[in-house]
Amino acid sequence: MITGKNYIGQELSALGETTFKTFNPVLNIENKTEFVEASPEEIDKAVTLAASAYMPYNQKSGAEKAAFLNAIADEILALDDLLIETYCSESGLPEGRAQGERGRTVGQLRAFADLVAEGSWVDATIDTADPNRTPAPKPDLRKMLVPLGPVVIFGASNFPLAFSTAGGDTAAALAAGCPVIVKSHPLHAGTGELVASAIAKAAKATDMPNGVFSNLNSSDIEVGVQLVQHPQIKAVGFTGSLKGGRALYDLAAQRDEPIPVFAEMGSVNPVIFLPEALQNNGAKWAKTYAGSITMGSGQFCTNPGLLFGIKGKELTDFIQQLSDEILKVEPSCMLHPNIIGAYEKNKQTALNQSGLMVAAEHEGDVALNFARQTVTVVQGKTFLENGKLHQEVFGPFSMIVECENTAQLQTIIANLEGQLTGTIISDGEELSQYPQVIANLQTRVGRIIFNGAPTGVEVCPAMQHGGPYPASTDSRFTAVGTQSIKRWVRPFSFQDWPEGLLPNELKRENPLKINRLVNGIVTKTTV
């Protein structure tokens, strides 16, 4: 059932000459299917088809788009065990995680289906005419959000379902009315093809224009580069490394017509442990954070890689408690030999920095491709002076920074790079003594957490997933939750436009019964 071919709209195609295979890191063997990279001609064909699908797809109603999204969810579920087995064999992640992620993926698709079926998300705004106004009559103006055009989505290595082929970015873009071309992630190309087949089936069953979705294989950067540079591509979504995201951003910015790139990149997710909290509940927090640091082998963008405390007995005890707890965790398999290779290399680079000490590192035997979790300690001054210690080590690694005092903590926080999240662990009244630390942290992150862990990203309207650069290329949008649809649209105004030609969202009678801002008041009534 997995062919190794590309989906160019409804057509399976394999004209390219480069092939590659995916890898099972648990068994440490290559998987069987040979995937064929998309050729330049296939890339151009997919984009041209997407461009031709743009207008007919855009003209589908919200209800029709919702039916398409729900059909994708149904078809993904229909893939059943084959999808779960392929997922596990290409990621080394356990079955429970695969099932959970499938649930989240299907849930996201249905949430976007509900959003567009209801329809108010287009922010319809109507200001009616006043022909008698002086000195000039006031025209009738009606505004709504419209899709940007064909977009390219780069799947994430660490979420083979929820942030890949039919993940959050794809669901949001399809919901917005943008045809999508997925640059399939080479680590899970089989999972990608299966999900692509589900999307293709759903598109056919719900009568969507051919080209509304394509899935292109690629093991290297060429396919992505050609896609981002194609003049008919209007936006890009990406989840991955800072290096990869920045490269795409630069390509997009250098086009004749620059286009937006929504890249969700690295983050070390700083956590500040205040003394009273450590004194009262150090053991509890050590257990929670040992779990958070090693969850999914540390392969989450919200992994807590940087822990701050103020020097003293409470922090010394906590370092011991966390070290004890983290050594109790069973090591787990990383996604790919290259990923664990990068983990070992980046960890070593950090450990080579003067002043960084290992507090705990798993020392027993581990299977091939399993990561040894590691907790390190460094002094505040050393951390402040060495930018290399601020870099993410993707994997089950965390660094505890011992700050001399509140002033040093405050300075360090002010000098952090942009992050997805920031967390404060605090007890009783102590938080009120750190207003400037909190204020500084707020300027550096997209989400701030009290007495919790950054891992476990809730999918809901109030979630912000995205932060100041380099956490994201565009902190003004979220990558999680239905608000992420706003990345793929632009406002469009109709002035004195004939009623009969207006889209339903803006017609006088409000046939879709959506919320609209009419002359400054939110209402569902007729104009």
Catalytic positions: 264, 301
d(CA 217, CA 5): 7
Among residues 150, 260, 296, 298, the one that binds its own copies under rule CB under 8 A = 260
In whole angstroms, how close is the CB of 525 to its own copies at the nearest point? 15
Among residues 28, 348, 415, 495, the one that binds its own copies under rule CB under 8 A = 495
Quick check: 444 binds its own copies (CB under 8 A)? Answer: no
Quick check: 483 binds its own copies (CB under 8 A)? Answer: yes
Among residues 44, 497, 504, 527, the one that binds its own copies under rule CB under 8 A = 497
Cβ partners under 8 Å of residue 73, min gap 6: 105, 106, 109, 110, 113
Among residues 14, 247, 378, 489, the one that binds its own copies under rule CB under 8 A = 489
Contact 6, 36 (CB under 8 A): yes
Quick check: 365 binds its own copies (CB under 8 A)? Answer: no
Quick check: 430 binds its own copies (CB under 8 A)? Answer: no
In whole angstroms, how close is the CB of 394 to its own copies at the nearest point? 21
Among residues 415, 458, 511, 524, the one that binds its own copies under rule CB under 8 A = 458
E strand or H helix at 151, and its extent?
strand 151-154
d(CA 127, CA 500): 18
Quick check: 99 binds its own copies (CB under 8 A)? Answer: no
Residue with tokens 């509304």, as numbered in its chain: 212
Binding mask 399-418 for its own copies (x = CB under 8 A): -------------------x
Residues listed for the chain: 527
Cβ partners under 8 Å of residue 413, min gap 6: 270, 272, 308, 437, 440, 441, 444
Among residues 27, 329, 342, 448, the one that binds its own copies under rule CB under 8 A = 448
Q: Rounded to the nearest 10 degrees, how much is the dihedral formed by the CA atoms of 440, 313, 375, 161? A: -50
In whole angstroms, how close is the CB of 496 to its own copies at the nearest point? 5
Closer residue to its own copies, CB minimum distance, 184 or 292: 292
Count CB-CB contacts under 10 A for residue 368.
11
DSSP code string of 454-485: S-S---STT-----TTTTBS-TTS-SSSGGGG
121-127 own/partner pairs: CB under 8 Å, 24+ apart:
121/145, 121/482, 121/485, 122/505, 122/514, 123/491, 123/517, 124/505, 124/506, 124/514, 124/515, 124/516, 124/517, 125/516, 125/517, 125/518, 126/506, 126/516, 126/517, 126/518, 126/519, 126/527, 127/519
Closer residue to its own copies, CB minimum distance, 118 or 344: 118
Quick check: 258 binds its own copies (CB under 8 A)? Answer: yes
Among residues 17, 257, 363, 365, the one that binds its own copies under rule CB under 8 A = 257
Helix (H, G, I), strand (E, B) or coil at 93: coil
Among residues 461, 509, 513, 525, the one that binds its own copies under rule CB under 8 A = 461
Closer residue to its own copies, CB minimum distance, 148 or 393: 148
Quick check: 473 binds its own copies (CB under 8 A)? Answer: yes
Closer residue to its own copies, CB minimum distance, 41 or 496: 496
- List helix spans (H) across 149-210: 168-176, 189-205
The stretch among 215-223, 287-295, 399-407, 497-505 that binds its own copies (CB under 8 A) is: 497-505
Quick check: 508 binds its own copies (CB under 8 A)? Answer: no
Helix (H, G, I), strand (E, B) or coil at 453: coil
Closer residue to its own copies, CB minimum distance, 254 or 349: 254
Quick check: 446 binds its own copies (CB under 8 A)? Answer: yes
Among residues 496, 509, 513, 525, the one that binds its own copies under rule CB under 8 A = 496
Helix (H, G, I), strand (E, B) or coil at 152: strand
Count CB-CB contacts under 10 A for residue 478.
25
Half-sphere exposure of 137 (CA within 13 A, CB side): 10
Among residues 5, 102, 142, 201, the one that binds its own copies under rule CB under 8 A = 142
Site for its own copies in 36-65 (CB under 8 A): 54-55
In whole angstroms, how close is the CB of 483 to its own copies at the nearest point? 7
Site for its own copies in 338-357 (CB under 8 A): none
The DSSP bridge partners found for residue 85 are none
- Output phi, psi for 8, to 5 deg: -100, 95
Quick check: 493 binds its own copies (CB under 8 A)? Answer: yes
Among residues 433, 442, 525, 526, the one that binds its own copies under rule CB under 8 A = 442
In whole angstroms, how close is the CB of 184 to its own copies at the nearest point? 27
Provide the 8-state DSSP code for 361: E
Give me the residues that bind its own copies (CB under 8 A), please.
54-55, 125-127, 136, 138-139, 141-143, 146, 148-149, 249-250, 253-254, 257-258, 260, 418, 431, 438-439, 442-443, 446-452, 456, 458, 460-464, 466, 468-470, 473-478, 483, 486, 489-498, 501, 515, 517, 520, 522
